Chains A and B, each alone.
Chain A
């Protein structure tokens, strides 16, 4: 069974601070997606990384896929209250066929950024 472990589970910081969220597994994934979920809404895709070592930037957010495609990180620079939410990583199972688009989700990191 492929599992994704996210850390930390909860993070409360002040506006302007930097933070990193980690997503780790012992399994190889064909891709890694990061989603953000706000209260009362469904998760929304932020980014997909597919190549080992890949780095993608989305404004103040930097996403990295590990070289071995077993882990990923999300770094936020100068966090703002609008970044508050639940951040979920999700891996696409590896193999000949990606099981129809199925994703394995991590437990999530609840981020609170205080003004």
Chain B
């Protein structure tokens, strides 16, 4: 079965450091989503791309977060500088959306701890 691959699976770093999370979407999928999951807020949409172009990044703190798709096989989410409140599990999901109501396929997440 094709899967969304996220790296790293775990990341522990100190406040102020740059963090880069990577996602390889399923081949052929045209839409990539970035989510953050915490106990308090649940699953929050940060940004998403269609055919590598950003569609909506209104859920993302613009001053420190950035999301890009350098090519169709790679999506990145960067935090610079990182803060303790950024500690969460970050998920990438992909899907093919020529029509609505299609499923999103999630990776297994990057568990981020900022000390």
In the complex, chain A residues 84-115 whose Cβ is within 8 Å of any chain B Cβ: 88, 92, 97-103, 105-108
In the A-B complex, the 6 residue pairs with the smallest Cβ-Cβ separation, listed nearest first, are A42-B106, A98-B100, A101-B97, A31-B101, A45-B103, A107-B42
Residues of A within 8 A of B50 (CB): 100-101
Total count of chain B residues near the partner, CB < 8 A: 24
Does B12 reach chain A (CB closer than 8 Å)?
Answer: no
Q: Does B109 sit at the interface, judged by CB under 8 A?
A: yes
How many A-B Cβ pairs are below 8 Å? 64
Contact in complex: A42, B42 (CB < 8 Å): no
Number of interface residues of A (CB under 8 A): 24
A contact set with B: CB distance below 8 Å: 30-31, 33, 40-45, 48, 50, 88, 92, 97-103, 105-108
Q: 7 A-B residue contacts at CB 8 Å?
A: A44-B106, A45-B104, A98-B100, A100-B97, A101-B102, A102-B33, A108-B43
Contact B109 A42 (CB under 8 A): yes
Q: Is B34 an interface residue (CB 8 A)?
A: no
Please encode chain B, from 36 to 67, with 1 for each CB lying within 8 Å of some chain A CB and 0 for all others.
Answer: 00000011010010100001100000000000
